[in-house]
């Protein structure tokens, strides 16, 4: 590892803990996680975020100013000069015998909310500005960083180009209408046109605009010139879903590949997911071990019928060791129709060909039936976006498109994608059917007009992936500052 320039001359706490160059003068800086004292000696656990491990600092009451001693409390930030020695205590490799302690920033013990005890996730969400100082959240965000890096590495190593697609757009890629508007028009008194509607011609961009719900449409333009591209950026959906799996602002990775057909798309998505899991298993061992223990504790406190039968690390290793199941939507519906919960009327929502599967259906397929990740493909045309490639020669009323969703245990949908409609006439016809004016997406149609080619892609919800690898239960706890209905604090 490179020498870290911030923190200490000798490197981070992570580096000091790994060092066996003892009996040398070092400086450490970090936040107090824990302190305990006995017989004139204080043991202070310092953490600087470089690792989940704390370094133990031994402070001798005799050679430390009383005022300083009093300010060594949980949450305070300290600089310690001292001697690096092999640790006497079990489980620690090295520790620091302090010669000089400086309080960089005290933390009033009566005011500092994050104490060394179990806090509820709700409480920590209300203190999102301080929750990075807990073991759980620092582990989650270190893993989030590692996964983001691995995503770039995966695509870069395979010849994909990172394409930056716009955040402000004039189109609704998913056609779901769940968009945040972007405007500089005065809200109380907007200019009106002849029909009395808001005149967006007078708006900043001369047209109505919104925050992007997906970079896919522009991603397709990229793939039709650069061949293989991916996007990785913030995505906005104004859906009023107060669930543990929805955010109003989330991050999505969207690869788009020229010349890929449906099955190539499935293969890439499965390989990509497994690579990311393997990367986290290899590079985030300490953090995963901590989260694994946490997961097992939480799991054991759940009612038996809701328990996962594997630990977190066990589940991740299982996922990379086994092929994903692959079934068509029609096969999936048949499995559901023949299932116990359907026959015993235990599903809240009805099951029949044509439904948009609810999460109870997806979770039955993944957790009860296949017991591993599942790729479901060839969905009914009516429930999917206009851009998906239509399958040919199907019975009327049973038309399908080359869509795919990847479902994983504990979460449900983690990836959505498809082969794209590359036939100009069929695409235009579908747009007419669902009411999208052709002139609005003229540029999108042009890539079918000029040099059209088969192409495919998918979107991975980054936070859903982080939920999966960390074993956290709520999507609000895997993004530093969650945006959900009614909540944009911090």
Residues that bind ligand 4AD (CB under 6 A): 173-174, 214, 216, 237, 239, 246-247, 250, 252, 254, 413-418, 457-459, 461, 463-464
Applying the rule CB under 5 A, the residues between 424 and 443 that interact with Mg ion are none
User: Least separation, in Å, of the C-beta of 385 and ligand 4AD?
Assistant: 7
| Burial class, 73, CB count within 10 angstroms (exposed 0-12 / middle 13-18 / buried 19+) | middle
Applying the rule CB under 5 A, the residues between 387 and 416 that interact with Mg ion are 416
CA distance linking residue 97 with residue 93, whole number of Å:
13
Both tokens assigned to 182: 């972007």
Residue 417 makes contact with Mg ion by CB under 5 A: no
User: Least separation, in Å, of the C-beta of 413 and Mg ion?
Assistant: 6
CA distance linking residue 178 with residue 49, whole number of Å:
37
Q: Residue 459 touches which of Mg ion, ligand 4AD, none (CB < 5 to 8 A by kind)? A: ligand 4AD
User: Least separation, in Å, of the C-beta of 475 and ligand 4AD?
Assistant: 6
**Closer of 82 and 457 to ligand 4AD (Cβ):** 457
Q: Which of 416, 407, 414 lies closest to 384, judged by CA? A: 416
Q: Which of 301, 280, 290 lies closest to 137, judged by CA? A: 290
The residue whose Cβ lies closest to Mg ion is 416
Q: Residue 314 touches which of ligand 4AD, Mg ion, none (CB < 5 to 8 A by kind)? A: none
Q: Residue 174 touches which of ligand 4AD, Mg ion, none (CB < 5 to 8 A by kind)? A: ligand 4AD
User: Least separation, in Å, of the C-beta of 439 and ligand 4AD?
Assistant: 22
**Closer of 242 and 432 to ligand 4AD (Cβ):** 242
DSSP E strands, 259-373: 325-328
> At CA 311, angle to CA 310 and CA 317, rounded to 5?
85
Q: What is the 3-state secondary structure (H, E, C) of 129-183?
A: CCHHHCHHHHHHHHHHHHHHHHHHHHHHHCCCEECCCCCEECCCCCCCCCCCEEC
Q: Residue 464 touches which of ligand 4AD, Mg ion, none (CB < 5 to 8 A by kind)? A: ligand 4AD
User: Least separation, in Å, of the C-beta of 257 and ligand 4AD?
Assistant: 11
> At CA 296, angle to CA 293 and CA 298, rounded to 5?
110
Q: Which of 69, 140, 77, 81 lies closest to 106, judged by CA? A: 77
**Closer of 80 and 173 to ligand 4AD (Cβ):** 173
CA distance linking residue 299 with residue 1, whole number of Å:
36
User: Least separation, in Å, of the C-beta of 248 and ligand 4AD?
Assistant: 7
Other CB atoms closer than 10 Å to residue 486's CB: what's the count?
9
Q: Residue 254 touches which of Mg ion, ligand 4AD, none (CB < 5 to 8 A by kind)? A: ligand 4AD
Both tokens assigned to 99: 């010669």
**Closer of 74 and 173 to ligand 4AD (Cβ):** 173
Report the Cα–Cα distance between both ends of the chain, in Å, rounded. 33
How do strand 55-60 and strand 94-105 relate by DSSP bridges? parallel
**Closer of 136 and 235 to Mg ion (Cβ):** 235
Q: Residue 461 touches which of ligand 4AD, Mg ion, none (CB < 5 to 8 A by kind)? A: ligand 4AD
**Closer of 203 and 362 to ligand 4AD (Cβ):** 362
CA distance linking residue 376 with residue 356, whole number of Å:
12
User: Least separation, in Å, of the C-beta of 306 and Mg ion?
Assistant: 25
Q: What is the enclosing helix (H) or strand (E) of 418?
A: strand 412-419
**Closer of 150 and 173 to Mg ion (Cβ):** 173
User: Least separation, in Å, of the C-beta of 425 and Mg ion?
Assistant: 26
Contact 417, 457 (CB under 8 A): yes
User: Least separation, in Å, of the C-beta of 301 and Mg ion?
Assistant: 32
**Closer of 7 and 215 to ligand 4AD (Cβ):** 215
**Closer of 10 and 216 to ligand 4AD (Cβ):** 216
Q: Which of 460, 459, 457 lies closest to 256, judged by CA? A: 457
- One DSSP character per residue, 287-353 reads HHHHHHHHHHHHHHTS-GGG--SS-HHHHHHHHHHSPPEEEEHHHHHHHHHTSHHHHTT--SS---T
User: Least separation, in Å, of the C-beta of 215 and ligand 4AD?
Assistant: 8
**Closer of 11 and 219 to ligand 4AD (Cβ):** 219
Q: Residue 7 touches which of ligand 4AD, Mg ion, none (CB < 5 to 8 A by kind)? A: none
Applying CB under 5 A, the site for Mg ion has a residue count of: 1
* Interacting residues with Mg ion (CB under 5 A): 416
């Amino acid at each position: 590892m490179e020498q870290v320039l911030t923190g200490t001359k000798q490197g981070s706490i992570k580096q000091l803990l790994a060092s066996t160059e003892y009996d040398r003068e070092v400086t450490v800086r970090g936040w107090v996680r824990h302190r305990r004292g006995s017989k004139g000696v204080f043991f202070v656990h310092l953490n600087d975020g470089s690792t989940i491990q704390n370094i133990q600092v031994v402070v001798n009451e005799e050679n430390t100013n009383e005022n300083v001693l009093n300010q060594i409390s949980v949450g305070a930030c300290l600089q310690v000069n001292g001697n690096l020695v092999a640790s006497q205590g079990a489980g620690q490799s090295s520790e620091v015998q302090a010669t000089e302690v400086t309080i960089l920033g005290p933390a009033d013990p009566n005011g500092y909310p994050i104490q060394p005890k179990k806090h509820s996730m709700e409480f920590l969400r209300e203190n999102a500005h301080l929750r990075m100082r807990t073991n759980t959240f620092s582990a989650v965000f270190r893993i989030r960083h590692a996964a983001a890096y691995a995503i770039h590495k995966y695509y870069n190593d395979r010849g994909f180009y990172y394409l930056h697609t716009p955040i402000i757009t004039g189109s609704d890629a998913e056609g779901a209408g769940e968009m945040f508007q972007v405007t500089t028009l005065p809200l109380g008194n907007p200019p009106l046109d002849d029909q009395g509607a808001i005149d967006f011609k007078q708006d900043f961009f001369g047209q109505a605009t919104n925050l992007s719900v997906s970079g896919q449409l522009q991603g397709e333009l990229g793939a039709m010139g650069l061949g293989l591209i991916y996007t990785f950026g913030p995505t906005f959906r104004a859906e009023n879903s107060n669930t543990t799996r929805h955010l109003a602002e989330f991050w999505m990775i969207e690869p788009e590949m020229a010349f890929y057909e449906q099955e190539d798309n499935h293969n890439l998505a499965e390989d990509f997911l497994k690579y990311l899991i393997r990367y986290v298993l290899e590079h985030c061992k300490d953090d995963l071990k901590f989260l694994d223990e946490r997961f097992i504790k939480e799991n054991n406190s759940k009612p038996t019928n809701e328990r996962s039968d594997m630990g977190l690390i066990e589940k991740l290793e299982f996922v990379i060791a086994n092929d994903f199941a692959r079934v068509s939507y029609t096969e999936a519906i048949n499995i559901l129709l023949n299932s116990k919960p359907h026959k015993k009327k235990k599903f809240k929502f009805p099951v029949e060909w044509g439904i948009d599967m609810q999460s109870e259906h997806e979770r039955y397929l993944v957790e009860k039936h296949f017991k591993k990740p599942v790729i479901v493909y060839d969905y009914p045309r009516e429930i999917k976006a206009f851009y998906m490639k239509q399958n040919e020669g199907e019975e009327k009323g049973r038309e399908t498109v080359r869509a795919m969703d990847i479902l994983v245990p504990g979460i449900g949908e983690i990836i959505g994608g498809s082969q794209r409609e590359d036939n100009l006439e069929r695409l235009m016809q579908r747009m007419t059917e669902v009411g999208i004016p052709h002139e609005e997406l003229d540029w999108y149609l042009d890539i079918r007009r000029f040099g059209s080619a088969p192409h495919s892609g998918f979107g991975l919800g980054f936070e859903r992936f982080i939920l999966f690898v960390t074993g956290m239960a709520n999507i609000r706890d895997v993004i530093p500052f969650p945006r959900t209905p009614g909540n944009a604090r911090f």
